[in-house]
Structure 1
Amino acid sequence: MPRIAKDPQERRNEILDAAMELFNTKGYANTAVSDIVKKVGVAQGTFYYYFKSKEEIAAAAHDRSLAFRLAFVKAVSEDKALNAVDKLRKVLLEGFPAPQKDHVIFEYLHDESNSILHQKYLVAKIAAFHPFLTDIVQQGISEGVFQVDHPGDVTEFLLVGISFLFDRGIFGWSEEELTKKYQALETIVDRLLGGTNLISVGVLSNMNHQG
């Protein structure tokens, strides 16, 4: 029976999915390329056709995670049925934090040996989210719930603050320390946007794993 060739993007995603499953069950360090190709059922050469190394798999997983989250945030920002406050809550709660299944990749990035790569991805995430959050804040200004003179600067400041301050790979905060910072952030966000009780600690406390 002739072998059915898969679409290259489909095959790439298949390899990436298998790698992520193994990373989550065995750990990144304990997963070898041979484990990945065995799970997919392809030759080792097929892996190297799509990825140069296991490290490149991690980079691809990060990029895919960010792309999915950005697609969600774009949909939220363009949803005409939502007001600005609801959009901001959805973005901060559901779009900005990495989903649980992707946390293993961010643990890899948090390793000290990957500090430059970690910073690179933090900056890329901030730049990617910035225009969507700015659009939401501008909507809030139009709706009269945000009082901001420079929405682009404010959203950039907010994204940088959240990304770096709450990144466990950088500061290693305890749960108690994080809780106090979330409580402080509630007031800070409200003051930045010129509103009152716009964001709740319940929302912000769910952002406990940045990526």
Structure 2
Amino acid sequence: MVRTIKKAEERRSEIIEVACDIFLKKGYEKTTMQEIIDGVGIAKGTIYHHFPSKDQLLDGVLDWIVTGYMGELEKNLANLQGNSLERMQQLIIRGADHDGSKDEMIDHLHQPGNSGMHIRLLAKMVTRQAPIYAKLIEEGCREGLFNTAHPLECAEFLFSAVQFLTDMGVYEWSRSDLERRIIAFPELIERQLGAPAGSFKFLHELITTQDDHSQQQG
């Protein structure tokens, strides 16, 4: 069989895309490196040249997913108008929008065999998103809209809370448990940022809508 010769970066990207598809559908733990090798159609030495272990390959997959999301986030940020609070509100809303392909990915991530992959992805998302929102918080402090001495830490805390505590794939809350947290989040965020009351009230509807959408998909 004649193998196609590809540039290293192109081959690496191909391995990541195939691995991502198999990890999501079969589960990370149940997937073998040989299945990925067969899926890409490469020699064993090639995959281990790029990724010495399955864990390192998973890390590459997660970075690829997050980088794609961050590209969309930064594109959205460049097109926003208004003060820092208004742009933060718009950015959060746009970041929550997702198409059918992302729905499928989220559904796969919520499968039991993907729990470890899911947690690591959420952690990477928080780490990459926080600095962008921290800059908006810093700007808001200069504008008199926010009042905090720790913009980055605030952003990390807020996104960790929202990403993890409202994710039904992480916590198996009852509907009433989730609702209590959704009600509390806007006030807690406003207090932490020193933002005007009601600034983050929109989060209640946003998170509720996302949860309803997830329930329908399930």
- TM-score, normalising length: structure 2: 0.70
Q: Which amino acid aligns with 1:67?
A: T
**155-164 vs 186-195, which moves further:** 155-164
Which among 201, 204, 207 is matched to residue 207 of structure 2?
204
Which structure 2 residues correspond to residues 77-92 of structure 1 after superposition, within 5 A?
Answer: 77-79=77-79, 81-92=81-92
Counterparts of 1:105 and 1:47 in 2: how far apart (Å)? 24
Counterparts of 2:175 and 2:16 in 1: how far apart (Å)? 32
**183-192 vs 170-179, which moves further:** 170-179
Measure how far apart 1:134 and its partner are.
Answer: 1.8
RCO higher in 1 or 2 (8 Å CA, sep ≥ 6)?
1
Which structure 2 residues correspond to residues 89-104 of structure 1 after superposition, within 5 A?
Answer: 89-95=89-95, 99-100=102-103, 102-103=105-106, 104=108
Corresponding position of 1:31: 31
Going from structure 1 to structure 2, the CA distance change for 1:48 and 1:147 (only over 3 Å counts) comes to closer
Measure how far apart 1:101 and its partner are.
Answer: 5.1
Counterparts of 1:77 and 1:34 in 2: how far apart (Å)? 41
Find the residue that maps to 1:148 and give its secondary structure. coil
Find the residue that maps to 2:30 and give its secondary structure. coil
Counterparts of 2:139 and 2:166 in 1: how far apart (Å)? 27
Q: Which amino acid aligns with 2:183?
A: Q
Counterparts of 1:129 and 1:78 in 2: how far apart (Å)? 15
Corresponding position of 1:65: 65
Measure how far apart 1:60 and its partner are.
Answer: 1.2
Contact 1:89 1:203 in 2 (8 A): no
**199-208 vs 99-108, which moves further:** 99-108
Which structure 2 residues correspond to residues 90-169 of structure 1 after superposition, within 5 A?
Answer: 90-95=90-95, 99-100=102-103, 102-103=105-106, 104=108, 110-111=115-116, 118=119, 122=123, 125-141=125-141, 146-150=145-149, 152=151, 153-166=153-166
Corresponding position of 1:176: 176
Measure how far apart 1:54 and its partner are.
Answer: 2.5
Measure how far apart 1:197 and its partner are.
Answer: 2.6
Measure how far apart 1:205 and its partner are.
Answer: 3.5
Counterparts of 1:14 and 1:37 in 2: how far apart (Å)? 11
- TM-score, normalising length: structure 1: 0.72
Going from structure 1 to structure 2, the CA distance change for 1:23 and 1:175 (only over 3 Å counts) comes to farther
Find the residue that maps to 1:30 and give its secondary structure. coil
Contact 1:73 1:132 in 2 (8 A): no
Going from structure 1 to structure 2, the CA distance change for 1:105 and 1:166 (only over 3 Å counts) comes to same
Let me know the Cα RMSD of the aligned residues: 3.6
Find the residue that maps to 2:182 and give its secondary structure. helix
Unpaired segments ≥5 residues, structure 2 = none
Measure how far apart 1:138 and its partner are.
Answer: 3.4
Going from structure 1 to structure 2, the CA distance change for 1:172 and 1:93 (only over 3 Å counts) comes to farther
Corresponding position of 1:49: 49
Corresponding position of 1:14: 14
Contact 2:130 2:156 in 1 (8 A): yes
Identity %: 21
Contact 1:61 1:105 in 2 (8 A): no
Find the residue that maps to 1:136 and give its secondary structure. helix
- How many residue pairs match? The answer is 202
Counterparts of 1:148 and 1:169 in 2: how far apart (Å)? 33
Counterparts of 1:30 and 1:160 in 2: how far apart (Å)? 28
Counterparts of 2:82 and 2:39 in 1: how far apart (Å)? 43
